[in-house]
Structure 1
Amino acid sequence: MSGTGRGSFADQLRTSVSEFFAQYGVAFVMVASVVGSGSIFIATDAGVKYGYSLIWAFVGAGLLGIMAQDMSARLGIFGEPLMVFIRKKLGGRLAMLLAGVISIGAVLWTIELVAATAKGVSVLLGGAIGWQPLSVVVTVLAVLAGIANYDGVERLLTAMLVVLLGLYLLVVGGTSPDLGAVASGFVPSLPDAGALTLAASIVGSTAIWSNFFLESNLVERKGWTDVSDVPTMRTDLVIGYALAIALIMAIVVVSATVLRPTGVEEVRSFVAPGLALAQPVGQWAAVLFLIGTAAAAFNSIVPIMWVPAYLFEHARGNDANPDNRSFKLLYVVGTSVGVLAPVIASLTGMSVVEMIITFPAYNGIISLPITTILLFWAVNDENTMGEYTNGLVANAINLVLVVLVFALAATSLPGVFGALLPS
């Protein structure tokens, strides 16, 4: 009888999971790219420098991400994917040029994510294997993960996010944070001018341009095709971003609770909080945090590198489907560039941390501003959206996002030039 019971429970669980993914799951693919090495570094930096004071900024950035992706999803439901819109409006040649310019950001992002994942694994192995050879293994695994069928990728990324949340919450519990102090971080405040710059970086690492393209493509695969599907799409976004922000907040809390009281003022590595946990909390916490850090970086690669495949397929006037050979070929070629991470590090003299800081900046300076303007144009085009164009409130929110995006680009540009130019 007990065997039957176990079978019944397993069947019920399998059915529940299948029913969940029949309705939801798109947002989990999206937010997998939100929780990466850049976000981990920024969250650690925020916790070290300002304690819990900037938790509100992560929550606000998550809300902006939801609203921006809601516009992208509505574009896919009522109109067409964003790059299809661009090709119709600007022509194939300009669409291809834009696809190329924007995709550079995704490739650079992938290079640093491969390096970050490999570095995290290397640290976990005690340096027995350097991150350079491990980067080849990481790239191969990312290629294999990305060419799996869409449903499989959706479930894999969701499972990894849930496991990550569990790992980080275990570590947070071990640090015994002051819950009252954590709650105070939900009240907006800016301790100094540097906090404003960091808040802009928080927006840039949470409201990610690649998701604006990806969401408008994946709604059709999910069967979201008319106005009745909008509530489901929005529920999906809220659940996905709630998970992502919970993950990031856990990192802020750990950094503020453990690193900040020790007098640490600068984060020199995205794995620093994991290493710092060993003495005050225990080796188990350090290991769990490092596993989560490496897994989060790896988890970001697939959704980010799907985007150039969608961009180029649509810019060429083709249907874009992750199951098609041409789509997979674009994904494999783009993702395989990750093996160049050690070569680039050697040629430029950059450390893994320097790549983590510098390479995603291209997205904040180039890819994100371009994408935000194009999305704003598309959701206000009556020929595309019909009666479902943006209303006054949605446009006001979009305008806030545009202003923040250009503020981020302006604040990032001097630092990027400083990092790239010889001293």
Structure 2
Amino acid sequence: MSIRNLSAVDYLAGQAQQYGLAFVMVASYFGSGSIFIASQAGVIHGYTLLWAVVGAALLGFMAQDMSARLGIHGTSLMVFVREKVGRPAAMAIALFLSIGCVAWTIGLVAAVGAGFSFLVGGAIGWQPIAVVATLAAIGVGLLNYDTVETLMIAMMLSLMVMYVIVAVPSGADLNAVALGFIPTTETFGALPMAAGLLGTTALWPNFFLESILVHEKGWTDQSDLPGARADLAIGYAVGGLTTLAILITAAALLRPMGFTQLDTFITPGKALVEVLGVWAMVLFVIGVIVAAFNSIIPIMWTPAYMIPQAAGYEVNKGDRRFTIVFVTLTGIGVFSPVFSRVLDLSVIDMAILFPTVNGIFGLPVAATLLFWAVNDRETMGEYRNSRWLNVVNASLVVLAITLGALAMQGFLDLFTGGGF
């Protein structure tokens, strides 16, 4: 190979290495919950919540931009919280938020188990596979950061391709699709679902995680911010497009077939078979498995950083404190079958309701803390939010609190009533 060609290869490799963090963030939010919430939204509400998908992706992008700036110019979000409110209060916040991460993992490993169980024709129940999935997630989560990032990039691009391929032949009504991007009075009855879409897209664990992981990419000063934003734009475009494809497919195919909700884990796949063929079902189920497994790792990295930082310790991925917290909390996923039985919730109930927990309870807290951090003069100095950014970014806090308050009763009715 010539010196010129070698230089070109090195340049391309260097460019590729610049990006990828956003795919970890998007993989974090795009789990089975995103797939089922988007499918459920399409089945119950048709195309009327397409605007919520776009809005959630934009708000997710803005929140991650704040988090990236905090990490580049200030400190990580939980360290900021500890410095401002003290260790006891910071620890209480970290533990409260970590409950949401564990709940999410319980639903995710159940979805992985149910997916594999379906692919093997029910020869193995989802419960033992969920246990294996939990252990596998622990193993992958302890790999070095670059390896995990590479896996997330490959998996997220594959998911986008799979679901767009399924959506294209769905025969969606283009006029109805266009109208779905405009909020109307019909959407007031869909606020719990909108909260779920927001909670599973503007994912609060990412607010903490990006402020830490920007340093994995070498982003440490103002000149690195355009690269971080380009990374976020690419990642959230991929995640948003994938979510739109799933919602449109459900609205175009399942709703006209008479489905009013997703009764079982495999309902969307079965319906797709009738219209598009077996290939669509296989892609759907494989996508659920990949998405669910993807999400576990970065979601559970968050408390592994957060809890030691709240206690006043410096923590790095792979050190003893990180490993103990990550393994212990992720390991609770092995009890997913127990939670399903005790709470009388199906796999699909857990896959939808547990992300909604984060949208209603975790997101308002984390969004408020993040907004505080990027406006703190002592932490951010001259790089704190501008007036325009405050107007835009404050919408995340207001929307999170409003949707959480309006959706709480509907969520509690579903949770205590045995699901959908």
- Shorter-chain TM-score bucket reads over 0.9
> CA–CA distance in 2 between the matches of 1:376 and 1:170?
38
> CA–CA distance in 1 between the matches of 2:89 and 2:308?
14
Question: AA paired with 1:202?
Answer: L
Match of 1:194 in 2: 189
Question: AA paired with 2:141?
Answer: G
Please give the residue correspondences for 1:44-63 in structure 2 after superposition, counting only pairs within 5 Å: 44-63=39-58
- Please say if 1:23 is aligned against 2:15: no
Please give the residue correspondences for 1:59-78 in structure 2 after superposition, counting only pairs within 5 Å: 59-78=54-73
SS in 1 for 2:385: coil
Deviations 1:177-213 (A, max 9, x none): 4555544433444535324443333222211111111
Match of 1:325 in 2: 320
TM-score (norm 1): 0.92
- Of 324, 337, 357, the residue aligned with 1:362 is 357
Match of 1:84 in 2: 79
> CA–CA distance in 2 between the matches of 1:119 and 1:89?
43
> CA–CA distance in 1 between the matches of 2:185 and 2:155?
33
Match of 1:205 in 2: 200
Contact 1:172 1:254 in 2 (8 A): yes
- Please say if 1:115 is aligned against 2:88: no
- Please say if 1:299 is aligned against 2:297: no
Question: AA paired with 2:310?
Answer: A
- Please say if 1:349 is aligned against 2:333: no
SS in 2 for 1:224: coil
- Please say if 1:36 is aligned against 2:28: no
Distance 1:53 1:14, change over 3 A: farther
- Please say if 1:247 is aligned against 2:223: no
- Please say if 1:222 is aligned against 2:217: yes
> 1:350, CA displacement in angstroms?
2.0
Deviations 1:59-118 (A, max 9, x none): 121111111111111111110000111111112222112111110110111111111111
Distance 1:341 1:167, change over 3 A: same
> CA–CA distance in 2 between the matches of 1:84 and 1:342?
35
Distance 1:290 1:141, change over 3 A: same
> 1:143, CA displacement in angstroms?
0.7
SS in 1 for 2:274: coil
Question: AA paired with 1:74?
Answer: R
Question: AA paired with 2:213?
Answer: L
Aligned length: 416
Contact 1:54 1:189 in 2 (8 A): no
The answer to which of 347-356 and 135-144 deviates more is 347-356
Match of 2:93 in 1: 98
Contact 1:117 1:138 in 2 (8 A): yes
> CA–CA distance in 1 between the matches of 2:7 and 2:47?
41
Distance 1:199 1:17, change over 3 A: farther
Match of 1:405 in 2: 400
SS in 2 for 1:320: coil
Distance 1:130 1:270, change over 3 A: closer
Deviations 1:288-332 (A, max 9, x none): 111101211111101100000110121122222213232122211
Question: AA paired with 1:164?
Answer: L
- Of 387, 393, 400, the residue aligned with 1:392 is 387
Contact 1:40 1:270 in 2 (8 A): no
> CA–CA distance in 2 between the matches of 1:166 and 1:12?
31
Question: AA paired with 1:85?
Answer: F
> CA–CA distance in 2 between the matches of 1:19 and 1:270?
42
- Please say if 1:260 is aligned against 2:276: no
Distance 1:37 1:422, change over 3 A: closer
> 1:142, CA displacement in angstroms?
0.6
> 1:374, CA displacement in angstroms?
0.9
> 1:270, CA displacement in angstroms?
5.0
> CA–CA distance in 1 between the matches of 2:301 and 2:277?
38
Contact 1:157 1:299 in 2 (8 A): yes
**Runs (4+) of structure 1 moved beyond 6 Å?**
11-14
Contact 2:200 2:356 in 1 (8 A): no
Deviations 1:224-264 (A, max 9, x none): 11110110010000000000011111101211221122122
> CA–CA distance in 2 between the matches of 1:16 and 1:286?
40
Give structure 1 stretches of 5+ with no counterpart: none
- Please say if 1:309 is aligned against 2:304: yes
The answer to which of 408-417 and 220-229 deviates more is 408-417
> CA–CA distance in 1 between the matches of 2:111 and 2:319?
30
- Of 146, 160, 167, the residue aligned with 1:172 is 167
> CA–CA distance in 1 between the matches of 2:88 and 2:70?
23
Contact 1:66 1:237 in 2 (8 A): yes
Match of 1:237 in 2: 232
SS in 2 for 1:277: helix
Question: AA paired with 2:373?
Answer: A
Contact 2:29 2:295 in 1 (8 A): yes
Contact 1:364 1:412 in 2 (8 A): no
Contact 2:43 2:251 in 1 (8 A): yes
Contact 1:28 1:240 in 2 (8 A): yes
Contact 1:105 1:367 in 2 (8 A): yes
Contact 1:36 1:300 in 2 (8 A): yes
Contact 1:210 1:304 in 2 (8 A): yes
Contact 1:271 1:293 in 2 (8 A): no
Distance 1:353 1:381, change over 3 A: same
> CA–CA distance in 2 between the matches of 1:14 and 1:289?
36
Question: AA paired with 2:340?
Answer: A
> CA–CA distance in 1 between the matches of 2:10 and 2:274?
44
> 1:271, CA displacement in angstroms?
3.7
